[in-house]
């Protein structure tokens, strides 16, 4: 017997042609924080199955570029300004391929990375922290200078210690930090 998801976002995503219901999560974040703009260069980390890629492509238009990165092979989307990179974010060759496709550092880096879960809490947390640390180490190279995002829940404090404010909090991009950083509730 297979599980059938019946929530409204799942049905709505299927009807709209999105690959995942999480496309609406990014769409809502974008409408609230204006993360994605026409002509932007965007990197989507943990891009499988491609719902966030679809939203990013719609937002950046024909003059922007989107690069999706994942260990899992992503079915191609019919878009000339999309590149898919199969690789691990902990591997520098993956980041070289991303920069090669973009031509310059990205305006926005989206991350929905998750490790393969083992069911052992400590192991899963360690793997998650390892992914966050790998991304944080490469952000200064991959993300255009002057970009930051409001702090978001879901990333352990020790993973962001010693990094610039606004880095390592889930979604990185164009939004400027308010004078006193606030936590965006309900966003993981």
Tell me the pLDDT tens digit for each residue of 64-76: 999 999 999 999 9
Q: What is the pTM of this model?
A: 0.77
**pLDDT of amino acid 147:** 55
CATH number of 23-172: 3.40.50.150
**pLDDT of amino acid 12:** 87
- Beta bridge partner(s), residue 143: 106
Q: Angle at CA 96, nearest 5°, toward 90 and 102?
A: 120
Is the C-alpha dihedral spanning 126, 187, 47, 116 positive or negative?
A: positive
**pLDDT of amino acid 177:** 37
Half-sphere exposure of 172 (CA within 13 A, CB side): 32
- Domain boundary assignment for the chain: 23-172
Q: What is the mean pLDDT of the chain?
A: 82
Whose tokens are 């019919």? That residue is: 78
In whole angstroms, what is the distance from residue 123 CA to residue 116 CA? Answer: 10
Q: Angle at CA 114, nearest 5°, toward 139 and 156?
A: 65
Q: How confident is the model at residue 1 (pLDDT cuts 50, 70, 90)?
A: low
């Amino acid at each position: 017997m297979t599980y059938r998801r019946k929530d409204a976002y799942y049905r709505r995503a299927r009807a709209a042609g999105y690959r995942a219901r999480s496309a609406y999560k990014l769409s809502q974040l974008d409408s609230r924080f204006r993360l994605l703009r026409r002509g932007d260069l965007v990197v989507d980390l943990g891009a499988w199955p491609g719902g966030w890629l679809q939203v990013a492509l719609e937002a950046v238009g024909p003059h922007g570029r989107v690069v999706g990165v994942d260990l899992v092979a992503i079915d191609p989307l019919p878009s000339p300004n999309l590149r898919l990179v199969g690789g691990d974010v902990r591997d520098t060759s993956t980041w070289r391929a991303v920069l090669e496709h973009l031509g310059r550092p990205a305006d926005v880096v989206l991350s929905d990375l998750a490790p393969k879960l083992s069911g052992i809490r400590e192991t899963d947390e360690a793997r998650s922290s390892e992914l966050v640390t790998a991304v944080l180490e490469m952000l200064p190279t991959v993300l255009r200078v002057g970009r930051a995002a409001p702090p978001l829940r879901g990333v352990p404090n020790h993973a962001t210690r010693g990094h610039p404010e606004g880095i390592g909090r889930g979604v990185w991009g164009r939004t400027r930090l308010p004078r006193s950083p606030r936590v965006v509730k309900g966003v993981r």
